[in-house]
Amino acid sequence: MDPASDAAEKWARRLGFRRIAGTDEAGRGALAGPLVAAAVMLPPGERQDGLEGLADSKSLTPGRRRELFCRITAIADCWSYACVSPWDIDMAGLQAANAAAMRLAVLSLAPPPDLVLVDYYHLEGLDIPQWSLVHGDRVSRSVAAASVLAKVIRDHLMLSWWVRYPEYGFEKHKGYGTSFHRKAIAEHGPAPCHRGSFRGVLQMDLGL
């Protein structure tokens, strides 16, 4: 994938916005672990040295994501993240949990943004102008940066579950539904960090 452009930020600055934040999430489709959202406000383009090659986190190697994480957090005007637990995902539903995490991440930024760039979604409950972008991680460096932060933080959190429940192999798949992971659930049953409402977790016991 080509590096993310800053086309959205450039248009926003032409329209007078100055504090522009991007937000994105990681872990939406996982069978286990939290959903993590991040929000980040990058400086203007001339102060973004070290972000060459920034793209959607899924297209980057783990090593490159960690390098970019360190650089993003070093140069960002501000950044934040929010987590929604597997239990809250089961209670509220995935879409509500996704929106809640991104909304909390945005509202935790200080200073607050005057524009929020969101990858595809529209966030209710934000008293801040927002643009819902199709393929936001391609046309906004802020959104791509948020995707990297969310992914690195979530992967790190999944390592703590791996230490506690090594039989599921969380260090390899980070909670996503690989064949190894599904076989481990079938053999051992779900762990406390699994999302019971997801097909492939508790439903496996019912043969559904």
Q: What is the pLDDT of residue 1?
A: 58
For residue 112, give the nearest of 121, 100, 101, 104 by alpha carbon: 104
Chain segment 25-45, per-residue pLDDT in tens: 999 999 999 999 999 999 987
Report the CATH fold assignment for 7-165: Nucleotidyltransferase; domain 5 (3.30.420)
Q: What is the pLDDT of residue 136?
A: 84
> How many other CB atoms are found less than 10 A from the CB of residue 63?
8
Report which DSSP code applies to 133.
Answer: E
For residue 23, give the nearest of 158, 157, 115, 96 by alpha carbon: 115
The mean predicted confidence, pLDDT, of the chain is 91
The amino acid sitting at 145 is: A
Residues 166, 171, 51, CA angle at the centre, nearest 5°? 160
Q: Using CA atoms, how far apart are residues 11 and 19, in angstroms rounded to an integer?
A: 13
- Would you kindly state where each structural domain of the chain is located, as residue ranges? 7-165
Q: What is the pLDDT of residue 168?
A: 96
Per-run averaged pLDDT (10 residues), the chain, 208 residues: 83 96 95 97 82 84 94 96 96 94 97 94 91 90 96 96 96 95 93 88 53
**144 and 50 Cβ atoms separated by less than 8 Å:** no
Q: What is the pLDDT of residue 46?
A: 63
Q: Using CA atoms, how far apart are residues 8 and 97, in angstroms rounded to an integer?
A: 26
Q: Using CA atoms, how far apart are residues 23 and 141, in angstroms rounded to an integer?
A: 10
Burial class (CB in 10 A: 0-12, 13-18, 19+), 86: buried
